[in-house]
Amino acid sequence: MKRVVIALLGSIALVGSAIAEEQDSGWSGEAELGFVATSGNTDTQSLVFKGKALNVIGKWNNEILLDVLNAEADDVRTAERYFLEAKTKRNFTEHDYGFGNFSHTDDRFSGYQYRTSLTAGYGRHVLSGDIFKLDLEAGVGGRRSKPDVGNTDNEGVLRLAGFFNWQISDTAKFTQDLISEIGSDVTISRSLTALSAKVNSTLAVRLSYGIRHTSEVPPGIEKVDRETAVTLVYGF
């Protein structure tokens, strides 16, 4: 676990330096590091790292998200998940945009070696004020899943998503993300609720609660995973 902590702290420094060098190109982002308690397929104390980078060029928005969860108990790995998402958006009007989304999940305790999905569709800026923001999305695509036992599964998916942002004050923000990929065989839904409070211009504390629900799982695997986390966020 100590090696994981050192590696993640190094990642924060490297990502921050790289983004800072590219600020003239419209890059910004944040990195989170903190403690998380999980229940579901794993019940343990864990370490979570999240990194996000956003690039805005004219009408194009490009975003990369990395989410890492690792846990050990008595020097035995009890949880290990890696999630990578890349998304591009192109604004057509003040309220309308198109998007393309790629995601890859490697969860060693889910009964699957990996799940990869690629979707594209239409988004709408329903609210875009200084205090409230709400984006709704709908798209279609495909998902490829490789179970630990059995054949690889390919299926079409319908992606529905909503992203709500409430700027409570100059220092406090509430966010709610809801994402569901409805497949012909399996439906996977994610919810992330978070409250952030700024400590200074670059640091914030974030309390978050996440739920992942999978409609069909291998024997011995639970359908719902929950995460409650308190993280320190570094913005750049």
The two three-digit tokens of residue 14, written as one number:
């490297």
Structure confidence at residue 144 (pLDDT): 97
Model confidence pLDDT, tens digit, residues 183-211: 999 999 999 999 999 999 999 999 999 99
pLDDT for 196: 97
Percent of the chain with pLDDT over 90: 71
Greater model confidence, 47 or 224? 224
Taking residues 51-58, report their average pLDDT: 93
Domain total for the chain?
1
Q: Which residue has the tokens 């079409």?
A: 156
CATH number of the domain where residue 86 is located: 2.40.160.40
pLDDT score of 36: 63
- 59: pLDDT strictly greater than 60: yes
How high is the pLDDT of residue 234?
95
Given pLDDT bands bounded at 50, 70 and 90, which one contains residue 3? very low
Stretch 58-85: mean pLDDT? 88
Q: Can you give the pLDDT at residue 44?
A: 66
- The per-residue pLDDT for 35 is 77
Place 42 in a pLDDT band, splitting at 50, 70 and 90: low
Angle ∠(42,48,53) on CA atoms, nearest 5: 135
Query: HEC profile for 123-176?
Result: EEEEEECCCEEEEEEEEEEEEEEEECCCCCEEEEEEEEEEEEEEECCCCEEEEE
Residue 103 pLDDT class (50, 70, 90 cuts): very high
Give residue 98's domain range: 2-235
Structure tokens of 94? 């003040």
pLDDT tens, position by position, 11-40:
444 444 444 444 445 789 999 999 766 677
